[in-house]
Amino acid sequence: MTEKFVFESEHDFLHKLEELVKGGVKPKDIEIRAPHPVHDAEEILDMKPSIVRTFALVGGLAGAATGYLFTSLTALDWVLPVGNKPIVGIPPYTVIAFELMVLFGGLSAFLGFLVGSRMPAVRTVISNDEFVDSFEIHVRKG
Amino acid sequence: MTHKTAPVPAAAGHPASEARLQIERDVISAMQKPGLAYWALVGFCAMVFVVCLLGAWAWQIYKGIGVGGQQNPVGWGIYIVNFVFWVGIAHSGTLISAVLFLFRSKFRASFNRAAEAMTVIAVMCAGMYPLIHLGRAWYFFWLLPYPNQRLLWTNFKSPLEWDVFAVSTYLTISVVFFYVGLIPDFAIVKRYTKGFSRHVYSALSLGWVGSKRQWRNYNMLYALLAGFAAPLVLSVHSVVSWDFAMGLVPGWHTTIFAPYFVAGAIFSGCAMVLTLCIPMRKIQKLERVMPIDHFEKLAKTMLFTSMIVGYAYIVEFLLAYYSGNVYEFGIFADRATGHYKYQYWGMVFCNMIVPLPLFIKRLRRSLAYLFITSIFVNIGMWLERFVIIITSLSKEFVPYAWGTYRPQPVEISITIGTFAFFFMMFLLFAKFLPVVAITEKKEEVH
């Protein structure tokens, strides 16, 4: 069973949320809906850091590593000495490594967002469930 | 919007709630079914795009690249000028959305959506030009990093190859950033639409309802994308500048190029945002969500970057003089007094002189004045790229090899066609997507 509270103002919503958490309701039993990000609500609910960070870090590192390895290994695969320049040139390859770091990091962060937010939420897409302009608190009981 | 629109919900009682709903109503009403005049304008742009760009490009492919004015010694004509111009325009979109987000600037919320759309469209325009410039556009895949039939890879030490990575990464990340910002707004638009459109917006919103899990991950993603995009924007235009600066051509081979190009990109981008947003504000009746204060702040950014660009114009001469290199100084003297002196002084006038009156507060708050200034800056920044590219190539080291370049009708036609494509896409954006970030605007309400 779920108890639902609806508020028009952010202030009343936060006040009720704080009251519920102080009153012993576990944050995991509370679901909220908000028309815009409410950073204080995240603090009250003491939420864990988002997994998007991990996805971005892993993606970024993988992108940078790919950039360096891809350019270096292809240069070593067919050695082409030009003007006594190094076969594996770190400064020019850094440009490519940087771009791939951003590309992989950004796409991976987006993937992390989809995974972490359980989106696309097909049921919501096809249902009449809407993103409303009110602050809601849903408390799961029992 | 060509779909049925549900009745706008009646305002709730609380003042904050009323203010939030007012923002929704203002932005959604801008998406109402466009009138005949609007469609006529879109149709005109589409026609110019097809005739001037596709038609002229087809003619160029049929006859060969020689129909353009590019030949020795000027092998890079206005196709490359346009490429750099459009990449520059794109940059301010990312600046406004990403950099101002990181600085927590409030005025970004009025412009960020339009600026991001401008970025995506401008990168598309920029992306066309290397293909058009190739001549045999169907061999574009030679640019991509893959081993050819002799198992030889592309040269990763070449700035032109960096460009492939930089511009394609920039396009991808800009599209992701644009789309992510739109997700909550798609969910709002879903509420206001009926029928087929509702299904489309619902699918695009990916089932967004504003839950704690969604907002937490969304905030983190947005901040990270802004963090990725801010250095990306600096890197992309630096890489574009290195297309020139890595060469030994006089007038190009200088370390000032990367910061100079980045400042110029932000400058031209701010001008284009003004060019697009001032009429859009009027036509779409967005006065409430796009206050004059925010335009004034954008005008200040434009003025500041104008001064950086102006400083770079002066310092370039000093660097050339101080280098003691006869070729280097020769090219700069030639820019100011030679064959292309009108373009050079036009550039100085548009980019250094015209923005200076923006020091006066009254002018910064006059949208008509800002609009006219922005048009001058757009022209000035196009001329800047023309001056940099064409003058340096036309007079390199050996006087015997000097020559001049004049854009031919095919090149001019393709250039006009890209502008038509740009405005056509922007007009479509302004009717099918929310032009102001609704949830961000709501965040300002307390």
Chain B partners of A103 at a C-beta cutoff of 8 Å?
169, 172-173
pLDDT, tens digit (0-9, with 9 covering 90-100), for A84-123:
889 999 999 999 999 999 999 999 999 999 999 999 988 8
Q: How far apart are CA B220 and CA A67, in angstroms?
A: 25
Q: How far is CA B261 from CA A23, A142, B256, B291, B309, in A?
A: 58, 62, 8, 30, 9
Strand partners, B117: none
| CA quadruple B410, B411, B414, B416: dihedral sign | negative
Tell me if B184 sits within 8 A of A37, measured CB to CB: no
User: Nearest CA of chain B to the CA of A48: how many Å?
Assistant: 9
Of residues B290 and B2, more confidently modeled: B290
> Which residue stretches of B324-408 are H helix?
326-337, 341-348, 361-364, 367-386, 392-394
Predicted confidence band at B3 (pLDDT cuts at 50, 70, 90)?
Answer: very low
Predicted confidence band at B81 (pLDDT cuts at 50, 70, 90)?
Answer: very high
- The pTM of the full predicted model, rounded to 2 decimals, is 0.92
DSSP sequence for B102-164 = HTT-TTHHHHHHHHHHHHHHHHHHHHHHHHHHHSSGGGGGGGSS---TT-PPP-TTSHHHHHH
Helix (H, G, I), strand (E, B) or coil at A119: coil
Burial of A33 (0-12, 13-18, 19+ CB in 10 A): buried
Hey, what are B25's tokens? 């109503």
Give the residue carrying structure tokens 């850091």: A49
Predicted confidence band at B183 (pLDDT cuts at 50, 70, 90)?
Answer: very high
Mean pLDDT is lowest, of A22-36, B73-87, B340-354, for: A22-36
ipTM score assigned to the predicted complex:
0.93
- Strand A30-33 relative to strand A2-7: parallel, antiparallel, unpaired? unpaired
Tell me if B178 sits within 8 A of B116, measured CB to CB: yes
User: Nearest CA of chain A to the CA of B153: how many Å?
Assistant: 7
Tell me if B263 sits within 8 A of B305, measured CB to CB: yes
The residue of chain A nearest to residue B239, with distances taken between CA atoms, is A95
User: Nearest CA of chain A to the CA of B174: how many Å?
Assistant: 10
Question: Would you tell me which residues 210-269 of chain B have a C-beta closer than 8 angstroms to some C-beta of chain A?
Answer: 210-221, 224-225, 228-229, 231-232, 235, 239
Say what percent of chain B tops pLDDT 70.
97
Please tell me the predicted confidence (pLDDT) of residue B300.
94
User: Nearest CA of chain A to the CA of B103: how many Å?
Assistant: 17
Please tell me the predicted confidence (pLDDT) of residue B4.
42
> Which residue stretches of B30-107 are H helix?
36-48, 56-63, 78-94, 100-102
Please tell me the predicted confidence (pLDDT) of residue B285.
86
Predicted confidence band at A49 (pLDDT cuts at 50, 70, 90)?
Answer: confident
Please tell me the predicted confidence (pLDDT) of residue A117.
92
Mean pLDDT of B111-132: 92
Three-class SS of B96-116: HHHHHHHCCCCCHHHHHHHHH
DSSP label of B95: I
| CA quadruple B249, B255, B259, B263: dihedral sign | negative
Strand partners, A139: A3, A30
What are the phi and psi torsion angles at B41 (to 5°)?
A: -65, -45
Binary contact (A33, B221; C-beta < 8 A): no
Please tell me the predicted confidence (pLDDT) of residue B133.
94
Question: What length does chain A have?
Answer: 142
Closest-CA residue to B276 (of B412, B112, B442)? B112
Say what percent of chain A tops pLDDT 70.
99
Of residues A47 and A119, more confidently modeled: A119
Mean pLDDT of B309-315: 94
Binary contact (A107, B180; C-beta < 8 A): no
Please tell me the predicted confidence (pLDDT) of residue B219.
92
Mean pLDDT of B361-373: 96
Closest-CA residue to B249 (of B390, B366, B57, B357)? B390
Quote the mean pLDDT of chain B.
Answer: 91
Predicted confidence band at B5 (pLDDT cuts at 50, 70, 90)?
Answer: very low
Chain A partners of B229 at a C-beta cutoff of 8 Å?
102, 106
Binary contact (B228, A105; C-beta < 8 A): yes
Helical packing angle, A52-77 and B212-245, nearest 10°: 30
Helix (H, G, I), strand (E, B) or coil at A6: strand
Please tell me the predicted confidence (pLDDT) of residue A52.
95
Please tell me the predicted confidence (pLDDT) of residue A10.
86
Tell me if B341 sits within 8 A of B390, measured CB to CB: no
Hey, what are A102's tokens? 């951003």
Binary contact (A117, B217; C-beta < 8 A): yes
pLDDT, tens digit (0-9, with 9 covering 90-100), for B228-255:
999 999 999 899 999 999 988 999 988 8
| CA quadruple B62, B68, B74, B78: dihedral sign | negative
Binary contact (A130, B190; C-beta < 8 A): yes
Is the per-residue pLDDT at B267 higher than 80?
yes
Tell me if B275 sits within 8 A of B95, measured CB to CB: no
pLDDT, tens digit (0-9, with 9 covering 90-100), for B8-51:
444 447 888 888 888 888 888 888 888 899 999 999 999 999 99
Beta strands in B293-334 (DSSP E): none
* Measured torsion, CA atoms of residues A47, A52, A56, A62, in degrees rounded to the nearest 10: 110
Predicted confidence band at B6 (pLDDT cuts at 50, 70, 90)?
Answer: very low
Sequence-separated (6 or more) residues with CB below 8 Å from residue B321: B329, B332
Chain A partners of B218 at a C-beta cutoff of 8 Å?
37, 113, 117
DSSP label of A35: S
Please tell me the predicted confidence (pLDDT) of residue B208.
92
Longest dimension (CA), chain A: 76
Predicted confidence band at A142 (pLDDT cuts at 50, 70, 90)?
Answer: low
Is the per-residue pLDDT at B446 higher than 90?
no
Q: How far apart are CA B138 and CA B131, in angstroms?
A: 8
